[in-house]
Amino acid sequence: MERGWLPTERNTTNQTSRIMTMWNGSWIAALAVGFLVWGLTLWCIVAYRRRRGEQGLPLQIRYNLPLEILYTVVPFIMVAVLFYFTARDQVAIAATDVKPQVTIDVVAKQWSWDFNYVNENVYDSGIMAELTGGTGVEKTLPTLYLPVNERVQFNLTSRDVIHSFWIPAFLYKLDVIPGLVNRFQVIPERQGTFKGKCAELCGEYHSDMLFTVKVVSLAEYQAHIDDLRARGQTGQLGTELGRSPLEPGSNG
């Protein structure tokens, strides 16, 4: 149960260990309850089956107060415990009260992504991928660079319709809504290349709305920022560049 069949490892970010512990604990509790219920059901089937030669109806019991209290109180306690751990972890995961070292404004659009590196005042703009099934498609995807072991805050908004920013390896996704800024923070703790995608059906080419995430050393991150600046990609790309969500063809 170390990974719980999840597509990542505990040290991918500062949050993956907490999420995996919650996931695995929920499954263990659910299976324990399931085995108990299945066991009691089978026991009742065997112990109280109708024997050969028995006549008439079994003894009718109108109520059993201790039993009714038991199967009311126990589920309530179970739900309360699950609610407590879920609320505790959700508050910790969604907290944005710590000042981040890196701030990235993510602007979603049909059907790609723009990444604004706020502190450095540079940007990277993506174009819609052409998923032909051939090789080399990943090179055409927008790439988000993150420095390892640095606290990153994502500010998410959309130019057109509702999208959802999802990096499966980070075990977290958040809706991207026009006219609203959603935020979350994360500390990437493992270098590597990860997949990203839109997780909200956003139109005809929703499945093409992919991106790549590279978690690199601080020096590599700074080199990427310098490269963007050298290419003249300075400033920030805002939502004002997008079309109105009420234009024909949108699903807003």
Q: Prior bond to 113 cis, omega within 30?
A: no
**What percent of the chain is predicted at pLDDT more than 70?**
90
Which of these three, 75, 94, 113, is where a domain ends? 94
Supply the pLDDT for residue 246: 42
Residue 197 and residue 163 in contact, taking contact as beta carbons nearer than 8 Å: no
Q: How many CA atoms lie within 13 A of 48 on its CB side?
A: 9
**What percent of the chain is predicted at pLDDT more than 90?**
67
Helix (H) or strand (E) holding 103: strand 102-109
Supply the pLDDT for residue 55: 82
Which of these three, 94, 110, 127, is where a domain ends? 94
Mean per-residue pLDDT, 151-158: 96
Residue 199 and residue 223 in contact, taking contact as beta carbons nearer than 8 Å: no
Q: Which of 238, 250, 3, 210 is nearest to 126 (CA)?
A: 210
Taking the CB of residue 122, how many other CB atoms lie within 10 A of it?
A: 22
Which of these three, 61, 94, 127, is where a domain ends? 94
What are the pLDDT digits (tens) for 81-103?
999 999 999 999 999 999 999 99
Which residues span the domain enclosing 178? 102-241
The domain total for the chain is: 2
The reported pTM is 0.82
Residue 15 and residue 93 in contact, taking contact as beta carbons nearer than 8 Å: yes
